[in-house]
Amino acid sequence: MKLLVPVKRVVDYNVKVRVRADGSGVETSGVKMSMNPFDEIAIEEAVRLKEKGLASEIVAVSMGVAACAETIRTALAMGADRGILVETEVELQPLAVAKLLRAIVEKESPGMVILGKQAIDDDMNATGQMLAALLGWPQGTFASKLVIEGDQALVTREVDGGLETVSLTLPAIVTTDLRLNEPRYASLPNIMKARKKPIDILKPADLGVDPSPRLAVLNVAEPPRRQAGKKVASVAELVDKLKNEAKVI
């Protein structure tokens, strides 16, 4: 079974983002960029399936500016076999990404697509579900455990009250939650090897997709800031304040 894993280049999760003064967005120039953490988990899961002999090949896909090739290289260093970069300067939103991925799935025919459940920049949490819809495939979102049994994927999902397990007939879509696995660090020899692995470069037009955004971003602002309050000296004072000043207990 071939696996397809989309990976997104995002502002590194350790960076404190700054909103541009003109309200046009978040400052990304000169900021450290990395692979979306949920996508690292997706790559790791794919590599583990290959190590268990359940997958034959892992294709990492990224979309956006030319620098997204670096994100693909990271995936290749972690164990993906080859990459596909869909290069565009257009701001890609989940609907466009899902359509581009559908076109790639139709060419590559993977048995499963594993995606991060959300990207930590736009926090949309949508692409996996949308790709599943466009392909007419079943979906197992927010996965904390994945077991393949014959033509079924058993996906244990993180839901509001606990966990839920669904059985999906392959081919299927899985999106990763945090506890699915702990991604490995790429070793130096594997980073060197990754340089020789192939990356195909395509344009949205090659895939017959119009990637224009459907949502216009009118403004990006800082959220209202909370004022730090006061320190209390004792538990007794805390309880007194909560009862008589804040009146919440």
Q: Which of residues 175-194 bind another protein (CB under 8 A)?
A: 177-179
Taking the complex as a whole, the smallest distance from the CB of residue 155 to another protein amounts, in Å, to 9
Helix runs in 52-182, H state only: 68-78, 94-108, 127-135
- Residue 150 binds another protein, judged by CB under 8 A: no
- Residue 22 binds another protein, judged by CB under 8 A: no
Sign of CA dihedral 238, 242, 243, 246: positive
> Which residues between 77 and 96 bind another protein (CB under 8 A)?
93-95
- Residue 172 binds another protein, judged by CB under 8 A: yes
* Distance (Å) of CA 126 to CA 12, 46, 89, 133, 215: 20, 20, 21, 11, 14
Taking the complex as a whole, the smallest distance from the CB of residue 76 to another protein amounts, in Å, to 26
Segment lying near another protein (by CB under 8 A), choices 50-58, 65-73, 192-200, 228-236: 228-236
Taking the complex as a whole, the smallest distance from the CB of residue 80 to another protein amounts, in Å, to 24
State the distance between the two ends of the chain, measured CA to CA, in whole angstroms: 57
Q: Binding mask 103-122 vs another protein (x if CB under 8 A, - otherwise)?
A: -----------------xxx
The string over 160-194, giving b where at least 16 C-beta atoms fall within 10 Å of a residue's C-beta and e elsewhere, is eeeeeebebeebbbbbbbeebbebeebeeeeeeeb
- Given candidates 134, 148, 199, 207, which one binds another protein under the rule CB under 8 A? 134
Taking the complex as a whole, the smallest distance from the CB of residue 8 to another protein amounts, in Å, to 14
3-state secondary structure of 102: helix
Segment lying near another protein (by CB under 8 A), choices 78-86, 162-170, 193-201, 202-210: 162-170
Sign of CA dihedral 132, 137, 141, 143: negative
Run of H or E residues at 34: strand 33-35
- Residue 215 binds another protein, judged by CB under 8 A: yes
Q: Binding mask 58-77 vs another protein (x if CB under 8 A, - otherwise)?
A: --------------------
* Structure token pair of residue 99: 């359509």
Taking the complex as a whole, the smallest distance from the CB of residue 191 to another protein amounts, in Å, to 26
- Residue 235 binds another protein, judged by CB under 8 A: yes
- Residue 140 binds another protein, judged by CB under 8 A: yes
41 vs 59, which CB is nearer to another protein? 41
For Cα atoms 114, 117, 123, give the angle at the middle one, nearest 5 degrees: 145
Number of residues that bind another protein (CB under 8 A): 78
- Residue 32 binds another protein, judged by CB under 8 A: no
- Residue 149 binds another protein, judged by CB under 8 A: no
Cis peptide before 224 (omega within 30 of 0): no
